[in-house]
Every structure is written in structure tokens, then in C-alpha cells.
Structure 1
Amino acid sequence: MMFFTHNEMLGSIVGYISFGPFGAMYGKVIGKSIDNFFNSSQTLPRYLSKEVKNCRRNQASNININAAFFDSLFSVMGLILKSCLLSRKNELRQLQLIMDHMKLSSELRLDAINQFYNGQSSSFVMNSSLIELIKICGRRTNPIKIFVEILLQSVYKDGKYVNQGINKIKEISAFLNISTDEFEQTKSLVASYNEHLAKNKNSYKYELENAYNILGLEKGTNKSELRKKYKQLMNQHHPDKLTAKGFPKEFGVIATEKTQEIKNAYDLINKNLR
């Protein structure tokens, strides 16, 4: 299994950008320690879940899922944001928001930045990265769907999607065998989640409309359809199930927020249907 390289150089760059020449020297030391950390045969990366460390039978498979998912996510994100034609400042702002949302450690932030810029290099082949992700995930479709959700979140800016980014992610979703309907539903779910955070929630009508959007349902849905959709979405996003399948624990933060959002939407619609 291949882990991330050039951390010492990356540490210098990040340190210089943040704190000038002295920061570069400090960053180089941090980068070197990260290289030693990943090169140690006795220590696994921090983003591996406790379940992976404690379950020898599934260890190799789960480690591969973690590494492949992390690598692909941030490298493909780098390529997508480059296609959005944003300024470098705004690119990094979007990346920062994702890393903050996932509550990544300082070590993993450096790794994420490394992969992000790898995705923007002329040598990066996106399809190869996606094929590797498909091979590692096998029949487990939930990681693929979460992968697309996070990419959609990365191109949601100032209350709307960046069109170039959406077009690219739509292309990626098709490559990952996600149907057009599934993509549109996921796109709607991510947008509704962001709107829920940004808008004033004093209007019950707005709350109810947003709840239907979050669950991808039309008004007039009966209780049976509501329960079916609720169970489907909860199964897809439940953090415990994702972690048990070898999902990085950092992605559990996003999954936990989504499950709470889904539950709130379900409760509101269910109450309205009584």
C-alpha cells in the first residue's frame, strides 16, 4: 500500500505561506515527522478507525478502503475545483471548509492538501483514481455515494453550486455507475442541507418544504413511502455502519450530521401527515 510522499517539502511550503521563512523551517520539521510516521511499519495512519485496528480479519481490506477513499477524494476534488476557474484563494477556502467540516487533524490536513494539488497536476489521471476506488469498494455502494456528496459540498459556494463543478461531478457520478436520478437526489439533499444551515428557520412552511427536499420526496407522499425512504437514507449515512465497513472515522462526522438532518426531516413530515 502506498501512502503520501513529499510531506517534508509540503510542510515547508505550508509553513512559509502561513508564517514566512521561520514557518518554512518549522513546517519542514513537521513534514519530516509525518514522513517518519507514515513510513513506520509499527504504526497505522491516524485516520484508520479503531474497528480496523482491532479486527485483524478485515484489516487489509479496510486499510485499503481508507487510503483509496482519502487519496481519491482530495485529488479528484483538486481537479474539480480547478475546473471551476476559481481564484486560488477561493479554491483553498472551499478545501478549508471541507477539512474543517471533517475535523481533520493537522497531519491529515497536510495529506489532504498534498492530494489536492496532486489532482491539479497535469500528470493526474482521474479515471485511474476512480477505477481504483471502485475496485477497493467492490459492492459497497455507500462509500461511493458519500464520496459524491462530499464532492458536491466542495462546489457549493455562496448559496449555490458552481456550474462547472456540477458538470464535472455529474460526469464522475456516471463513471461511478450512479444513476441520473440518484445524482439529482443527492445534489438536492446537499443543497437543502446547506440552505437549512444558512436560512432563518422561523417559517414552518419553509421547514416542511425543505424536509421534503432533504428526503428527496414529493408532497403527497404517504407514510409507507416516507418510512421506506427514511430507512434507505439512514442506512446509507449511518456513521456506525460506515465505520464498521472500514470507512475513515473523519467521514463519520459528516455522516452523523446528515443522519440528524434526515431524522429531523422525517419527524417533521411524519408529524404533518398525522
Structure 2
Amino acid sequence: MLDGSALQPGDIAGLGLLNMPSGWIGLVRTGPGFVLRAYNQLLDETLDRPLDSPRVFLRATGDYDNDLAQLSYSTDGATFTPLGTALRLPYQLKTFQGTRYALFAFNSEGREGGCAQFDDFHVAEPLADRSQNLPLGKIITLTNLGNGTSVWSNRNGMLHSARPGSPEAQSPGIRFRVHDRGQGRVALEAIDGSGFITVVGLGLSGDVRLCKQETDGSLFQWQDMLRGQCMLLSLKNHRYVAIDPHTGEPYSAESPGARPDRKDGAVFTWREAAE
């Protein structure tokens, strides 16, 4: 919340998104009173709204999937009204930095101004705590994001792929119980009774097996990728479980990680399934 009661004519104070281009929303003290202003440097856009009170709540809401932020304001702290066009949030290469929050107050007329009082500055990061994203104790199915196939425990005891619509994709072999082993580590047990997903040997294609007894090779670090996506890091060889999406070969544990598009066979979507 910004209280601009002590601002002097020519003072500007508010909440900024510091980058190149930048943007901000804040109070401007004029002779007659106060104006709420939003500025977008990329569009050279300035929008003003009259205010009856020097007390206003300011907010910047980030959409980090699309690298955009929307500035808004409220007079009661409950209902926020957007002001201005959404701001771009680039990672610029002049100083190699992303967008940073800023609270500011200055006099635009080159003279000594007053002061701004900021209170209750709050940063909400709803996606920061990923502990609730792990399906611990649940039965799930895993679908490879690279080719849309289901992870399947085949009859030969190897982790393989089942194509959508196939009998294998409807079988109990695509369902796994996620056992909690602490600190984000899990063991995955096939519901069809074939055993635990386990990395053996060097982790080459065909070395991700289903074993009746849980071993050190059955331990994986569940890497949450948000929105129901994950990767499985083998703690036996510190490589990711993956397939080549184009060859149809069994799973391996030799991937160093995923490409930015997540379509190289190392990223899965998971869904909770019935027992």
C-alpha cells in the first residue's frame, strides 16, 4: 500500500518493473491533488486516472509462461482494476538481467520533494512451493511428452511404451504406485505385480527393468516441471529415465536432461488413476 499524503507537487512514487523496457504504476502529485499514472516504455504509453485519496494499493501480476505483467490498482485493497497494456518481461542482453521489482519516489521537477510511505509489500509466489505437486502415495499413469505413449511394464520385465488405443495402454501395467522415500525421492511400483521400476547395469536401453525387490536402483528423484509434468532422475547413475521418441526402443536411464521444448523423451505428464 502506498500513502502519498506527504508528497509534494512534482513528486512521483509507485511500483516499478525495472528493465529495458520498463514500466510502472504510481501516484503523481499535482498542484490540485493526485493522479494515478501507469507508464509502458515499450509502447511509450501513459495513462492517467484521477484519485480522491492519496492512499492506493498497487499490484503487478506476472504471467511468466508468456513473459507478461499486468499493472493494477485498488482503493480498498480487495478489488483491483487493471491499468494500461500488459508489459513485456524480457531477459535483456545489455546487462544480462531479467525484470526486477522496484519501489520508487522522486521529484520530476528537479527540486526537493516530500516522501512516500510504503506499507505491506508482499510477494506471492503460488508456484514456488512444489511439495504438493508430488503424487506421493497415489496411483498414477505416466505419458511421455515426446510421443504421447504410456509408460508400460511389458511382459519381459522391461519398462516400455504403450501406444494410445492399444490393449497395452488399457492394461494394469501402465499404473504405478508412488512410494515416498523422503526429500522428493520416490520408488514406483507397478500395480500389475511386476515390481519396482529399477535401473540396472549402465542404464542403457532395456536397463530400466521391473524388479520384485526394491533396491538402490529403484530410487528416483522426482523433478517437478509444474502443471502435471515431471522428470525421473535415477539416483543410481544420476541420469534421467527417457526414450528416443522415434525408435520404439525400451526405456533407458542415460538422458542428461530435457530440451527446452520437453519433447525429447525425458519429460512425462502424470495423472492420478484408479486402483
TM-score using structure 1 length: 0.20
Structure (1/2) with the larger strand percentage:
2
Q: Compare relative contact order (CA 8 Å, sep 6+) and give the higher one, 1 or 2.
A: 1
Structure (1/2) with the larger helix percentage:
1
Larger Cα Rg: Structure 1 or Structure 2?
Answer: 2
TM-score using structure 2 length: 0.20
